[in-house]
Amino acid sequence: MKKNQVAVFIVVLLLAVVFLFPIYLAVLMSVKTAKQTFDSFYALPSSFDLSNYWHAWETSKFPIAITNSLIITSLSVILIVLVSALAGYSIARRNKPFYNIIFLLFLSGMMIPFQVTMLPLYKLGKNLHMLDTHWGIILIYGGFGVQTGVLFYTAFIRQISKEIEEAAKIDGCSTPGIFMRIIIPLLKPVTATVVVLNALYIWNDFLLPLLYLQDNSYRTIPLQQYFFFGQYSSDLNLAFAYAVMGMIPVIAFFLVMQKFIIKGIAAGAVKG
Amino acid sequence: MGNLKQAMRKEMWYLLFILPGICLFVMAVVIPLIMGARYSFTNWDGVSNTFASIGWDNYVQAFQDPGFWEALWNTFKYALILTILVNVISLLLALVLDSFLPFRNIFRTIFFLPSVISIVLSGFIWSYNYSTGIPTLLSHLGLDVTSPLGNPDYALFGLILVALWQGVGAPMIIYIAGLQGIPNELHESAKIDGAGSGKAFWYITLPLLAPSVTINLLLVLTGSLKVFDLVYVTTKGGPGFSTEVVSTYIYRTSFSSFKGGYGMALSMMFFLILVVVTVVQMSISRRREVEM
């Protein structure tokens, strides 16, 4: 058995190396010059050269892109959390046909693939002047995120005992008061799940920005990278420096929030 | 009278709470869906504001469109192969990472890491990997290979590998969570009864893991049937027609060929196909689950 365990360990280790290889290659490319790459492809450079990064920072509008990504991701996530928590509270506490039907509609909406609504969404965005704005895309992300958000919050609030709320009601506390003072403080775990899942999706999303944010000054990181790679396909070292720059925030977010992300995915599977 | 007023006021708060959610949902999902269904019966070009109703013509045309069928075939080939590979590999990883392996937390992080990178980035990295990275490595072994993405016979498999690299992380987490929910006593009593680890896996672990299998099969299958970004940023459907999938075909029809009405008819058919796949898959796998 011991021998088996060593064999399994070696196989997993090799697989891990294969998994890390593309990322390693990207980092390696980003710190070398074209000549160094040509001379010896896999060798580490004799000196770490960060000029690719400097150059990429200057030519790529990276600060604008990261600002756009931060604004759109954070505001969308806040919107999703607020709207879903409120709606989830109503559905969880009013066990009436109207609320249950709304709940079912949110659920069935999740089945609709984005591709089906993409052309009408573009048309709608154009008619309502939502293209090339922050608020337009944030509202759409809100509409997408509220479907799973409501699911999470409803299930979570249903498990909260009603006794405290009823006591507060007798003391004359209004519905908004109960929600603000009693419910919100209890929602932290489910909010963490909703935040990390939506933040990762929105930060990395490509298709909706491709439709909604064509203007240079509104592009998010993935979209800006897509155009940058097309433009600098001959200067690969520069393109890879930009790729690694885009990778750093999301990997940092993942490493810091890992516990919540893993919990969120496991919780999402149970709810689904 | 006072009571009624108070009850109304209470109900009003609940309605106010749910209203913003309904508004956003209607704007982002319901209205576009209704618009799309309506456009699918017109000759709309996707841009202008004028169009005329043409009945079921778009749907009739879709049935006779070889491009659509080929894209559908590619999509299902991609999705089925990917679903099987992702689930087998992530289940194996979960089994070993849930048990004795040293450094298993680090391994979990490594296998999950590619999932958080945007598809634009992974597409770019892998295109380069395929065209230069791997051939250079293999040339040291005397092998001469070219990028699979440039070869119509292998391009789809090249994309499946990239999706596999990015796709095993989340199912692995779900399988690990499922494994941790299986009580240890069951394994112990099986061992006492003389069952080997293979038998224990087949008769205890797998049946009790069925809910996780169901959800993972469903998530990966429906997710991969909708594939768009990866194809769009790497091969754009080429070489030839070899990696054209339904989503990229719809995108091309709607935005590049200016056949909005027809693109919407294709979308609606695709939606219907997805619903059927989901329902069939759910009913098959739910039957296999056992109650704890």
- ipTM, two decimals, is 0.86
Closest CA to B181 of B152, B146, B205, B154: B205
What is the Cα–Cα distance from B126 to A43, expressed in whole angstroms? 19
**CA–CA separation, B256 vs B45, rounded Å?**
10
Give the closest-approach CA distance of A161 to chain B in angstroms. Answer: 18
Q: How far apart are CA A34 and CA B267, in angstroms?
A: 44
Tell me, yes or no, if B251 comes closer than 8 A to chain A by beta carbon: yes
Mean pLDDT of chain B: 83
The minimum CA-CA distance between B263 and chain A, rounded to whole Å, is: 8
pLDDT in tens, B90-120: 999 988 888 777 788 888 889 988 888 888 8
- Say whether pLDDT at B276 is over 80: yes
Question: Which of A26, A112, A262 comes nearest B29 by C-beta?
Answer: A112
Domains and CATH numbers, chain B: 65-291 (1.10.3720.10)
Closest alpha carbon to A31 in A245, A263, A259, A189? A245
Q: Amino acid identity, residue A191?
A: T
The answer to whether B158 and B149 have CB atoms below 8 angstroms apart is: yes
Q: Is A133 helix (H, G, I), strand (E, B) or coil?
A: coil
Q: How is residue A110 written in tokens? A: 């999740």
A87–B20 C-beta distance less than 8 A: yes
pLDDT computed for residue B145 by the predictor: 72
CB-CB under 8 Å, A23 with B114: yes
**Predicted local confidence at residue A146, as pLDDT:** 92
Phi, psi of B42 (to 5 degrees): -125, 175
Cα–Cα distance, A150 to A158 (Å, whole number): 12
Test mutation, B11, B18, B197, chain A, max A CBs within 10 A: B18
Residues with Cβ within 8 Å of B165's Cβ and at least 6 positions away in sequence, in order, are A19, A22, B114, B122, B126
Q: What is the pLDDT of residues A21-61, one digit of tens each?
A: 888 888 888 877 777 776 666 777 766 677 788 887 877 78
Instruction: Report the C-alpha gap between A141 and A208 in whole angstroms.
Output: 9
Q: With contact defined as beta carbons under 8 Å apart, do A99 and A91 qualify?
A: yes
Q: Are B28 and A125 in contact (CB under 8 A)?
A: no
Shortest Cα distance, chain A CAs vs residue B132, angstroms: 9
| Positions of chain A with pLDDT lower than 70, given as ranges | 1, 38-41, 46-48, 268-272
**DSSP assignment of A184-238, as one string?**
GGGGHHHHHHHHHHHHHHHHH--HHHHHH--SGGG--HHHHHHHHHHHTSS-HHH
Distance CA A36, CA A170 (A): 76
Q: How far is CA B159 from the centre of its chain?
A: 14
Position B200 pLDDT exceeds 80: no
Q: Are B146 and B135 in contact (CB under 8 A)?
A: yes
Closest by CA position to B163, among listed B87, B261, B268: B87
Helix, strand, or coil (residue A35): helix
Q: For chain A, say whether B258 makes contact (Cβ under 8 Å).
A: no
pLDDT over 60 at B87, yes or no? yes
Nearest-CA neighbor of B45 among B64, B58, B30? B58
Q: In which residue are the tokens 């499946």 written?
A: B160
SS3 B41: coil
| pLDDT tens digit sequence for B33-77 | 998 888 888 888 777 777 777 878 888 888 888 888 999 999 999
Q: Do B101 and A12 count as a contact with CB atoms less than 8 A apart?
A: yes
Res B289: pLDDT? 61
Residues A143 and A82: their CA atoms lie apart, in Å, by 12
Which DSSP category does A44 fall into? P
Report CB contact under 8 Å: A251, B260: no
B258 has a pLDDT exceeding 60: yes
A247 and B117 within 8 Å at the Cβ level: the answer is yes
- Residue range B214-232, pLDDT digits in tens: 888 888 888 888 888 889 8
Evaluate whether B19 touches A144 at the Cβ level (below 8 Å).
no
Residue A147 has its nearest CB partner, among B25, B170, B226, at B25
DSSP A68-122: HHHHHHHHHHHHHHHHHHHHHHHHHH--SHHHHHHHHHHHHHTTS-HHHHHHHHH
Query: Torsion angle, CA of A97/A103/A108/A112, rounded to 10 degrees?
Result: 140
CA dihedral sign, ordered A247, A252, A255, A258: negative
Length of chain B: 292
The whole-number average pLDDT for the span B123-128 is 86
**Residue A139 contacts residue B28 (beta carbons within 8 Å):** yes
**What's the confidence (pLDDT) of residue A142?**
94
pLDDT at B292: 42
Amino acid at B244: E
Residue A246 vs residue B79, higher pLDDT? B79
- Contact criterion met (CB below 8 Å) for A219 and A213: yes
Rounded Cα distance between A122 and B45, Å, is: 13
Contact B35 A124 (CB under 8 A): yes
Encoded tokens for B90: 């992530």
Report how far residue B15's alpha carbon sits from residue B251's, in angstroms, rounded to the nearest whole number.
38
Distance CA B281, CA B116 (A): 27
Q: What are phi and psi of B53, to 5 degrees?
A: -70, 135
